[in-house]
Each structure stands twice: as structure tokens, then as C-alpha cells.
Amino acid sequence: MRLNRTDRFILDELQNDGRLSNVALAEKVNLSESACQRRVKALESAGVIERYSMILNQQAVGITANVFVEITLKDQKQGDLVKFEKAIQNIPEVMECYLMSGDYDYLVRVVVTDLQDYERLHRDKLTKLPAVSRVRSSFSLRAVTKRTQLPLKST
């Protein structure tokens, strides 16, 4: 799907407030309510809008630590990659996982309540993932910037 300026405007507004009503959105993007709804449905159908979500304040819910974990596998066999990726998706503390180029195979962001919680996660889950040979962790001291909105440039 090719995105035009109006589509990008709609997406910017929905990224800013996913609970925006169709009436309010239509007014903001200068469309009729029916035209706006058709465009949003088309963006959803095309997979441009993946899902709607709520963002919680980690501190407020007691999940105070972000840990960035570099994971190296024993080898790069396709079967091992598939098993690892399937297994890591079942760990609730894993917020993001990326297959990487470079010195390690995966970069994983996990969230935990404290150091003891991370020790448990490391011991009971991360080191027991299929084909893992090395786990290296870095603790975030604080977030400098954290975005959820993609930078959609006008065309």
C-alpha cells in the first residue's frame, strides 16, 4: 500500500492517541467521518496498522529495570535458530528480540523488577534456551529517550 499525506497524518494522530474516536480523528485530518473510517480500515487491512496497544509506565507497575542481553548461540544451524526464536517468544519478560549481525547472534531487551529478578530469569530461562553458548548482560541506568511513534515524513 502506498501511503499518501493524509494516510501519514492519520497514522501520526493514531500513534499519538490510539483511543482517538473516528469523529475526532476525521476532524483532525480534515475528512468526513465515513472517508476517515474507510482509510483507517484500509490501513488495518493492508497491515500498516498492526494492532492497537496501551503503554504502561514501567516504574508505576514495579518493573524498574531494563536489561539488554547479548546472546550467542553454539552455531548458526537453521534448526537451532528456529528453536531458539520459538523458545524466547514464550518468556514474558522478553520485550524485544533481534537477530543481529556482528559479535553476537541476538540482542534481547528484558524487563525485571530488580537484580534478584534478573538473576532468576538468567538462571532459570535465558541460559536454558536452546543452543545458547553465551549470555552477556548490560543494565540500563536510565532511559534517555524512548519512543513508540515511528517518524512518518510527509510526502
Q: Using one digit for the tens of pLDDT, what is the confidence trace for 123-135?
A: 999 999 999 999 9
Q: Using one digit for the tens of pLDDT, what is the confidence trace for 20-66?
A: 999 999 999 999 999 999 999 999 999 999 999 999 999 999 999 99
Same-domain pairing of 79 and 131: yes
Full domain range(s) for residue 25: 5-45
Residue 87: per-residue pLDDT: 98
Note the pTM of the prediction, 2 decimals.
0.89
Same-domain pairing of 29 and 96: no
Helices and strands: H and E segment counts in the chain: 5, 4
- Please check whether residue 76 lies inside any domain of the structure: yes
Same-domain pairing of 27 and 71: no
Residue 153: per-residue pLDDT: 76
- Please check whether residue 16 lies inside any domain of the structure: yes
Asked if 127 contacts 71 with a C-beta cutoff of 8 angstroms, the reply is no
Asked if 84 contacts 75 with a C-beta cutoff of 8 angstroms, the reply is no
Confidence of residue 154 (pLDDT cuts 50, 70, 90): low
Counted domains in the chain: 2
